[in-house]
Amino acid sequence: MRRQITGFSNPTVKYLRSLREKKHRKVAGQFIAEGLRLLTDARESGHLPEILVMAQGREAHPLLDSLEAEVVAAGGEVIETSADILSKITGKDNPQAVAGVFAEFDTGLHAIDRSTAKIWLVAQALRDPGNLGTMLRTGDAVGAGGLILIDDCADPFSAEAVRASMGAVFTQQIGQARWDEFLPWLRGGAGQLVAASLRDAVDYRRAPYAAPCFLLIGNESRGLPEAYETECDLCVTMPMKGRADSLNAAVAGAVLAYEALAHLDD
């Protein structure tokens, strides 16, 4: 179905704007991704938007034309509106010419097949959506299976996290669980749990990584709870040569993931 929207007070505009807030996303089970690149990555990963919103006067592009045709063929909705209204929907002063509304994914641990990858990223109480999106992007880069979010983390379907993922929200499996759910699940199958830590840790370059390897990164300011670290199979540390006592959580995850990849690919 195709239609045009010309008024800011249109109920659909109000609904799409509401998806910027977590409580409304959870009720609707939908989230917004903005930009042709992200929507193309989604399509190539098997995810089509249920609603495609396009700015009037946009430049023609064959990828957008084919995406529009696929959305219509799949029974989705295509909306044309002004750039000002699209800005209102996305909350950005200079929005991309296209945005898509997607169904949120199943993030239960039951949906994760640990045998599909050598590396999985795990984040505990990660609060910054930019860090979350960056970890998804890192996971895609190293061929990880996905990112498992433990305890109270930022929403992976927020606009900030989706944008920071650069499309990896569509290529990486996302799991969400409490620690007391995650640990029994992990111990119910193969898997080495590795913590980035300062306590009783070995140098990350000489650690005996084993697949499937679950790399656990803690909260940006507090790190991991000590009780969580004691449950890990291995704790590793990265040298700090300057005055800083730790790396940014997403950076630490990237450094550790590439080191583990080098060992597991040998």
Report the pLDDT value the prediction gives residue 254, as an integer from 0 to 100: 95
- Band (245; pLDDT cuts 50, 70, 90): low
CA distance 18 to 31: 10
Whether the predicted pLDDT of 240 surpasses 90 = no
Amino acid in the structure at residue 57: G
Report the pLDDT value the prediction gives residue 91, as an integer from 0 to 100: 84
- Reported as a single tens digit per residue, the pLDDT across 190-201 is 999 999 887 778
- SS3 at position 82: coil
- Reported as a single tens digit per residue, the pLDDT across 96-151 is 789 999 999 999 999 999 999 999 999 999 999 999 999 999 999 999 999 999 99
- Reported as a single tens digit per residue, the pLDDT across 246-262 is 678 999 999 999 999 99
At a CB cut-off of 8 Å and minimum separation 6, what does 197 contact? Answer: 223, 224, 229, 232, 235, 236, 237
Q: Are strands 146-150 and 119-124 parallel, antiparallel or unpaired?
A: parallel
Report the pLDDT value the prediction gives residue 244, as an integer from 0 to 100: 64
Would you tell me how many other CB atoms lie within 10 Å of the CB of residue 231?
Answer: 16
- Band (238; pLDDT cuts 50, 70, 90): confident
Q: Select from 106, 111, 95, 109 the least CA-distant residue to 56.
A: 95
Rounded (10°) CA dihedral 235, 239, 243, 247:
-60
Domains, the chain, in order of start with CATH, read 2-103 (3.30.1330.30), 109-264 (3.40.1280.10)
- Reported as a single tens digit per residue, the pLDDT across 151-166 is 999 999 999 999 999 9
Report the pLDDT value the prediction gives residue 133, as an integer from 0 to 100: 97
- Reported as a single tens digit per residue, the pLDDT across 9-51 is 999 999 999 999 999 999 999 999 999 999 999 999 999 999 9
Mean pLDDT of the chain: 93
Report the pLDDT value the prediction gives residue 241, as an integer from 0 to 100: 73
- Reported as a single tens digit per residue, the pLDDT across 108-121 is 999 999 999 999 99
* Ranges 79-83, 103-107, 235-239: which has the least confidence: 235-239
